[in-house]
Structure 1
Amino acid sequence: MRVPVVSKEGVPLMPTKPSRVRRWLKEGKAVKKWSDVGVFYVRLTVDPSNTQTQEVAVGVDPGKHFSGVAVQSAKATLFMAHLILPFETVKKRMEQRRTMRRTRRSRRINRNRNVPFKFRNHRSSRFNNRCQNKLPPSIRANRQLELRVVRELAAIFPISTIVWEYVRADVDRTSGRRKARSGRGFSPVMVGQRWAIREMEEIAPVVQLQGWKTANLRRELGLVKSGNKDDASPESHAVDGIALASSQFVRYESFHGTNVRGHRWKGSVCITPALFRVIRRPPICRRQLHLLQPAKGGTRRKYGGTVTRHGFRKGDFVRASRAGRQYLGWVSGDNARQVSVSDINWKRLGQFSASKVQLLAPNTNLLVLGTSNPTRPAFCSSRA
C-alpha cells in the first residue's frame, strides 16, 4: 500500500510508504488531507528532497450502469474504484420531465369558443428542441462522473497516461471480431466517448484500447473477473481498470530471430493490494415549485433542493446515534424535528433527532464507501 503525497504547492509527487508518512507527520513535515474520492494523502510543509516521478497510469473501463477505475504504476497498484453510474436515475427523470411538458402543452390556453382558434389553441414551444449533435443527459451524466473521479485522482497522483477502453457495438469484446450486421449497432456506451476523451486529454494524454485487448491482458496477468456486474467488488469492473493501466507497462510485441518468429509479452508490472472505493452520485431531486401539478390555492409544499432546516445539506456525511447505536450515512431529507440518514444506495437507515446527528464531512456531490483495509484483487502477479 502507498500513500499519495503532494508538495506544499499542491503538485502531486510519487506515493510513499505509510511508515515514512507517519514519521513526516510526527516531525511536522506534512499535514493530513482527504480527497473527495475517499483517499487519505499528505501535503508537505517543506520542500521535497526529490520531485522526479515515475510513470503512473489510470485505467478507465466505461459502462452503461457501472464503470471501473484503477491507478497503477510498474511497482504497485495504487487505487481501485467501482462507479455506480446515474444512467437509470437521469433517464427516469428526463422521461418524467418530458411527460409533464407534454401535459402542459396539451392544455388549452383559452376555452372560450367565441375567441378565434388561433388565440385559444395549444401553447407553442418556447425553444427549438431539435438541435443536432446533442449528447443525451443520461449518458453525459455517466461520463461526467468518470471525469470527476479521474480529475480527483490526478490532483493527488502524478498521472502520466489515461487508458480508455474504447467500445464498439459491432465488435465482440471477447474475440475482437466484427459482428454480423443486424441493424442494431447502437450502444449507449459508445455515445459520448469522444466527448469524454476530449475532456480527459486536458488532464493527461489518453490512450485508447479495445475491449478484446483488455480481456487478453487481464487473462495474462492472472486477474479473475466476476460474472456478476452488480457486485461492488474489485473483481466486477476494477480489474479491467487494472488491466488497462497495466497495458502501459506490459505489451504484446512481435519478435523474430534466425529461425523463429512470433509474439510474446514484454515488460514488467506488479499488482498489489490497494484501496478500493465504491463511488456514486447522490440522487438529490432538484428544487421544484410544485409537485408535478400546481397545488390548489397556490400553496407550495417544499420539495427537492439540498437545504434542510437543521443546518445540514443533503449529501453531508454524518454520524447519527439512537438507542445506544451509531450509524454512518448521508443526509437525504428532513422534517420539522428529525434528519433522515441513508446509506450509499440511498436507502434510509432511519430518522434521527437533529441534536444527535454530527457532521463528519460536507457534501462533495459524491457518495464514497470503502473498506479500512487494502483490498487485494483476485490474483497478484508480475510479468517480465
Structure 2
Amino acid sequence: MHSSASLTVKRVPVISPDGCPLMPTKPSRARRWLKDGKARIYPNDLNIFAIQLLNKPSGQKTQDVVIGIDPGKLFSGIGLQSSKATLLKLHLILPFPNVTKKMTARRILRRARRGRRINRKLPYDQRCHKAKRFDNRVQKKLPPSIRANHQLELRVVKEATRLFPISHIVYEYIKARGDKGFSPAMVGQKVMLSWLEKLAPTATQYGWQTSNLRQWLKLTKEKADKSKAVEETHSNDGVALAASHFVKWKEWHSSNARGGYWDGEVVATVAPFKVIARPNVYRRQLHFENPDSHKPNPNQYRKRKGGTITPFGFCSGDFVQAEKAGQTYRGWIGGYTRTTKSKNVSVYDHNWKRIGQFSLKKIKLLKRSCKLCSA
C-alpha cells in the first residue's frame, strides 16, 4: 500500500497473430522482435506504435487494464492504466461547437425554404403547410451535438480495446451542485454508460473523488486554460479514474478519532500522449446560400460548396505529407482549389486550422481517412 511515483516507463501494445490484444511490452523488446523478424508494425487508427506477433505466443494471460474517461462539453480526457504503468493518455477535441453551428445554419435555411413555399396571401386553411408527422416537443433522442461527442468518445474507446486487453472501464459521472445546476456534459450520460457496458464492466465515480485520487497520485491539473492540448488538462483525470480500480479510500473509526487511508497499489508513469479530433469536413451542398454576384445572372448561378472528395485522388481526412519552401508539413486534406493555371490541395492540422495550400506534386499520401485526426 503505497503511493505512485512518476517513473519513465513506456509500454508498446502487442497484438497476437489472430488479432487479440496481449499485455504491452517494453520498447526495447519490441524493437528486438522487429529486428529478428518475429513481429511487424501493427497499423491502427489512433496512430500509436504497436506490433503484431508473427508466431503464436507462449501464453495469453493478461492483467487488469482499465480505461478512465473524463467527459466534458468541449474536451474529454482518457487514460489507460495497469497496476504497474500508465499505458496511454488521450486528449479529445470534441465536435460540439462545429455540430451546433451546422445545425443552426440548417435550421435557418429550412425556415427560409418554408417561408418561400407558403403563400401568406391565402387564407390559413388553404396554405401549403406540411402535415405534422410527430410531436417534436416530446423526444427521447440525444441532441446531435451531444451524440457526436459521445460517439467520438466511444470510437476512441473501441480503438483502444483493439490495442490493449481492457478489463474494466471507469466513467466520471457529472452531478451538478444544487437543484438548478446544469451542464451539457450531463446530457446522455446514461446512454453512454449503456454503450460502454457492452465493451467491458463499467463503474462510475464523481468528480471530487477523481480530484482526491489525482492529488494523491501527484498528477498536476491545469485549471487556468482547459483548452490546452496537454496532459495536465484532462488526460491526467482519465489516469486517476482508471487508477481508482486499483486503489480505494478506506475509512477507520475509533473511540476518540477518525481518519482514512488509500488501500491498494498503483504506479503512474510517463506514457504516450495523443490529441484526437474529428475532421471537420463539409458535406456536399448544391450551392452556396447566397448567389454569386460576379455572374451575369446572380439568381441563376451559385458556387459549388462542400464535398469530401477531390478530382486528384485525395479525400477529405486523408493524412498526407506536404512540402513548401524546403519545409515539410503533415496534416489532413480538407479541400481543393482548381483553376486554369493551378491545382492546389488544402492541408489542415488536428485543430482543423489550415496549414496552407500545396501543389499536387508536393503532396504524398501517408494514410487514408479513418475519420480520426491523431497528432
TM-score by length of 1: 0.87
Q: Distance in 1 between matches of 2:112 and 2:253?
A: 70
Alpha-carbon distance, 1:129 to partner: 3.3
Contact 1:59–1:242 (CA<8 Å) still a contact in 2?
yes
- Summarize the alignment of residues 215-294 of structure 1 with structure 2, pairs less than 5 Å apart: 215-227=211-223, 228-255=225-252, 262-292=259-289
Q: Distance in 2 between matches of 1:326 and 1:144?
A: 33
Which residue of structure 2 aligns with residue 302 of structure 1?
304
Contact 1:80–1:275 (CA<8 Å) still a contact in 2?
yes
1:354-381 deviation per Cα after TM superposition (whole angstroms, max 9, x unaligned): 1211001111111111xxxxxxxxxxxx
- Summarize the alignment of residues 1-384 of structure 1 with structure 2, pairs less than 5 Å apart: 1-109=10-118, 118-124=125-131, 129-170=136-177, 179=178, 181=179, 184-227=180-223, 228-255=225-252, 262-292=259-289, 299=301, 301-336=303-338, 337-369=343-375
SS of the aligned residue for 2:13 comes to strand
1:133-153 deviation per Cα after TM superposition (whole angstroms, max 9, x unaligned): 121010111111111111000
Contact 1:108–1:120 (CA<8 Å) still a contact in 2?
no
SS of the aligned residue for 1:25 comes to helix
Give the 3 Å change call, closer, same or farther, for CA 258–13 of structure 1 in structure 2: farther
Contact 1:106–1:123 (CA<8 Å) still a contact in 2?
no
Q: Distance in 2 between matches of 1:257 and 1:4?
A: 47
Alpha-carbon distance, 1:127 to partner: 6.0
Q: 2:34 is aligned with what amino acid?
A: L
Q: Distance in 2 between matches of 1:116 and 1:271?
A: 72
1:39-73 deviation per Cα after TM superposition (whole angstroms, max 9, x unaligned): 11111111111110011100000000111001000
SS of the aligned residue for 1:143 comes to helix
Alpha-carbon distance, 1:231 to partner: 1.0
1:59-97 deviation per Cα after TM superposition (whole angstroms, max 9, x unaligned): 000000111001000100000011111111111111111
Greater shift in the superposed pair: 253-262 or 311-320: 253-262
Q: 1:155 is aligned with what amino acid?
A: R
Q: Distance in 1 between matches of 2:255 and 2:48?
A: 51
Q: List gaps (5 residues or longer) in structure 2.
A: 1-9, 293-297
Q: Distance in 2 between matches of 1:117 and 1:166?
A: 49
Contact 1:109–1:123 (CA<8 Å) still a contact in 2?
no
Which residue of structure 2 aligns with residue 379 of structure 1?
none
Alpha-carbon distance, 1:302 to partner: 2.9
Contact 1:108–1:123 (CA<8 Å) still a contact in 2?
no
Which residue of structure 2 aligns with residue 173 of structure 1?
none
Greater shift in the superposed pair: 65-74 or 117-126: 117-126
Which residue of structure 2 aligns with residue 378 of structure 1?
none
Tell me the C-alpha RMSD between the 2 structures.
Answer: 2.1
Contact 1:6–1:44 (CA<8 Å) still a contact in 2?
yes
1:100-124 deviation per Cα after TM superposition (whole angstroms, max 9, x unaligned): 111111224458x6x7764444455
TM-score by length of 2: 0.89
Give the 3 Å change call, closer, same or farther, for CA 14–244 of structure 1 in structure 2: same
Q: 1:306 is aligned with what amino acid?
A: T
Q: Distance in 2 between matches of 1:116 and 1:196?
A: 48
Q: Distance in 1 between matches of 2:17 and 2:337?
A: 43
Q: Distance in 2 between matches of 1:107 and 1:338?
A: 38
Q: Distance in 2 between matches of 1:193 and 1:153?
A: 20
Q: Distance in 2 between matches of 1:268 and 1:147?
A: 28
Between the aligned residues of both structures, percent identity stands at: 52
